[in-house]
A = this chain, B = another copy of it.
Amino acid sequence: MSLMAEAPLHRRIYAALEGRILSGELRPGDRLPSEHELCADYACARMTANRALSELAGRGLVVRRRRAGTFVAAPRAQSAVLAIPDLEAEVKARGQAYGYRLLSRQVRPPMAGDAAEQALADGGQLLALDCLHSADGRPLAHERRRIALAAAPAAEAADFASMAPGGWLLRSQPWSGAEHRITAIEADAALADHLGIARGAACLAVERRTWRTDEAGRETGVTHVWQVFPGAAYDLVARFTPGRAEGRHG
């Protein structure tokens, strides 16, 4: 029935096995055909069958064990690909006018009581920015940004009065890992004022920590940001598939 007969053989094998797993015909713990059996079934070389099975394993749908065989992976994990967009690109992609305003800028050492700043700067200087993003003139997010100047010295000369730090960092600073924390908070007086909402209104807060790993495997903090969105104005959307998360960005 399918018009996909032109697909590469390794992909057809992959798709056939994936279909049997996703449909429930093969259940967690069930054994898949061995590479040898697939070679016979599809009249192909072992590398071709291997590639299909390896890709299933890479996506977490199956587990491969020497001597034992290939098995459908455990109860499918709940992991999702969450798109956390660059705000400027996101707003423009929706056809709205993007606005940006720098509220404050300081170069200073980390504050004594702030563990996050201490961890980021590790004794060095910090660039501390507060700024506001808007879409079609309506406040979209308040951003509290900290950049470790030891890791990104060029940030000190960058013109963050006219350019949001997120996009600049993304374009110019390599990074190797990051962590998000998403939570709901109530707007305090300052946030309510900046975002034009009632004090106590529910907001979505996204905290992001970004680091770089050097050759020796040591992690160096690059930036730390808290973005707060009015709850009514912003959703985060995540798509996911069984097993290891998979998705396109863009």
List the interface of chain A (C-beta within 8 A of B). Answer: 1, 19, 21-24, 47, 58, 60, 75-86, 170-171, 173-186, 200-205, 212-216, 229, 231, 234-242, 244-247, 249-250
Among A47, A212, A213, A249, the one with the most B-chain Cβ atoms within 10 Å of its Cβ is A249
A212 → chain B closest CB, angstroms: 7
- Report whether A182 and B182 are in contact in the complex, using a CB–CB cutoff of 8 Å: yes
- Report whether B84 and A79 are in contact in the complex, using a CB–CB cutoff of 8 Å: yes
- Report whether A81 and B204 are in contact in the complex, using a CB–CB cutoff of 8 Å: no
- Report whether A245 and B245 are in contact in the complex, using a CB–CB cutoff of 8 Å: yes
A235: B residues at CB distance < 8 A = 181-183
> Would you give 29 A-B contacts (Cβ < 8 Å), ordered by A?
A1-B216, A21-B174, A22-B175, A75-B171, A77-B249, A78-B84, A78-B85, A78-B249, A79-B84, A79-B247, A79-B249, A80-B178, A80-B180, A81-B81, A81-B82, A82-B82, A82-B180, A82-B182, A84-B238, A179-B240, A181-B237, A182-B236, A182-B237, A182-B238, A183-B234, A183-B236, A185-B231, A202-B202, A244-B247
- Give Cα A217 to B84, complex, Å: 28
In the complex, the chain B residue whose C-beta lies closest to that of A60 is B249
- Report whether A79 and B81 are in contact in the complex, using a CB–CB cutoff of 8 Å: yes
- Report whether B238 and A174 are in contact in the complex, using a CB–CB cutoff of 8 Å: no
